[in-house]
Amino acid sequence: MSRSLQAGVVSRHVSGSALAIGRVKRLKIASRTIHNYFLGLPAWAFPGWKDRYFNDTPSRLANYATVFNTVEGNTTFYRVPDAESVARWRDAVAGTGFRFCFKLPSRVTHERNPDVEELKRFLAAIRPLTDSIGPLLIQFPASVGPAELTQFEHIFERVREDHAFVIEVRHRAFFEEPELLEPTLERFAAGRVVLDSRPIYEGDRTHPDVLDALHEKPDVPVMPTVYNASAFVRLILHPDLVSNERYIREWAQHTARFLRQGADTYMMIHCPNNMHCPPLALEFHRQLRQEKGMGDLPDLSPWPSPEQLALLP
């Protein structure tokens, strides 16, 4: 059965001690100034995008950053980046207002005993990027419920010394009783991640690109509530592009509301087939520009790839 998001459920919980995510409010997409709106993908170097959307001149990340102003850094979930890679990333986005939203390593969030030393290595590794880091993504498995969350308070404290962060939970208790997470969000001025996987669960589940995603992306209730002026949405769209229209329209409406309320808003566009992510993000941005008060948002820059004109969707 289709589950629509109800209008009017968005609220702002703003702590007096909250540090707004994204301290620099005037960022650029396509060399045009907009406010507290960050649009990105789950990666910047998916192989299939090369020479279709982005190229390697001067680098894939530099290309990507001419169109999008954030990225969900999933590679850090698996390994801490080396100093050479971090230096290249820093140089690629220097002066652009770009924001990396790195995911904490799995050894910190997915182990019974959080690896504090791994956290220290991770934080030290990304330190050269401090001016280009958005909220860090602290993602927990479904096994971490209210009782287990207390084991991570020292992790939250350490991360908060250097960075703002958002928390993604998957345990059902946090959806049945949202107030169970709220004291943690309030204490650390954190945002709560909204994961919307409805498109793949309500769409054609037999689609070959969707089958694996059903095992990786949980089917959890969608709670578009903003805490501490920080909105962070992970929207998992379907590879059958027509079936996404309703969800893109809904999230354009919610995003416009978040922005009008002054929240720093990060919209990450996912799809089981990564080939579709760039054009889906473009369509989302087009829809957002049609919402009330959003008409001044500029168009995204054209794809940097030299083949872009022949391949634009």
pLDDT in tens, the chain (313 residues): 444 444 333 333 333 222 223 323 233 443 334 579 999 999 999 999 999 999 999 999 999 999 999 999 999 999 999 999 999 999 999 999 999 999 999 999 999 899 999 999 999 999 999 999 999 999 999 999 999 999 999 999 999 999 999 999 999 999 999 999 999 999 999 999 999 999 999 999 999 999 989 989 999 999 999 999 999 999 999 999 999 999 999 999 999 999 999 999 999 999 999 999 999 999 999 999 999 999 989 999 999 985 544 444 4
**273, two tokens:** 């087939």
Non-local CB neighbours of 177 within 8 Å, separated by 6+ positions: none
Q: Which residue has the tokens 């008060």?
A: 293
Domain ranges of the chain: 32-311
CA–CA gap between residue 236 and residue 213 (Å, rounded) = 9
Identity of the residue numbered 313: P
CA–CA gap between residue 225 and residue 231 (Å, rounded) = 8
Model pTM? Answer: 0.89
Pairing of strands 12-13, 226-227: parallel
Cα–Cα nearest to 101, from 146, 14, 39, 154: 39
Q: Please name the fold of domain 32-311.
A: TIM Barrel (3.20.20)
Residue 93's CB is within 10 A of a number of other CB atoms, namely 22
